[in-house]
Amino acid sequence: MGHNHKALVVLLLTSAFWLPTYAGSIDTLSSWTGTTAASFGEIGGENAVGATFGQTFIIREAHAALTELSFGVTGYAPTAVAEACTFEAVIMAWNGSRPTGPVLYQSSPITMPVVPAFFPSVVFNLDLGGVKVKKDDPYVVFFTSNHFLNGVRSDAAMYAVGDIYADGSFVDHRGPDFNSLTTQNWGVYPWFADLAIRLDYVTTPEPGTLALLGLGLAGLGVSRRRKA
């Protein structure tokens, strides 16, 4: 086998090395011990204002596809508020101060159950369908009622833990509509806490990997044609 052929085989093997994927997760939910962060949702009052909670995160290993999101919420209605909290979960890129770019994931509206005489706690599990995120880029998953504001208090609390996740932090925002979430800076609290969430993902090949693999196969194909 000539020098060029050996180089092509090495290229092919190098590309193949990066092809396998594996599953991972960012998991603070398993460390939850009962603490909640209060409160997100509609604060109520004469001028409707929504409090939004979020958690920033980074996938370090490789580009990834997000598969499932789990998080916990404690509702207040009807014990302490007039309406049950309705909210949605959203994932976007994070520029250090606010969400940026297109919405990568947006759940259907989620409404907390109304259970008389006590505060219901629910762990939600959402199928993310393979949302693509880039290695080492910051993102935020946030929980907002800003599409459902009607002037009636309907807030709730989210499961939270201490500051145990090194690659992200708890963030929050108060605003009158969804647009304010991307046009105004948020509060960022890297020393304070993290939301208790589990974000499952599957790593994906680097963008250049498949191109290299294709180049390797093409090179071997040329080699075979020359030899015939």
Going from N- to C-terminal start, the domains of the chain cover: 1-19+206-228, 20-204
Residue 1 has pLDDT above 70, yes or no: no
Residue 114 has what pLDDT?
94
Mean pLDDT of 174-199: 95
Say which residue, 69 or 224, is predicted with more confidence: 69
pLDDT of 46 > 70? The answer is no
Average pLDDT of the chain to the nearest whole number:
86
Please check whether the domain covering 20-204 is classified as CATH 3.30.160: no
| CA dihedral of residues 87, 71, 128, 94 (deg, nearest 10) | 80
DSSP 205: -
Helix, strand or coil for residue 24? Answer: strand
Does pTM top 0.85 for this prediction?
Answer: no
- Contact between 191 and 163 (Cβ < 8 Å): yes
Q: Which residues contact 166 (CB under 8 A, 6 or more apart)?
A: none
Taking residues 18-33, what's their average pLDDT? 88
**What is the per-residue pLDDT for 125?**
98
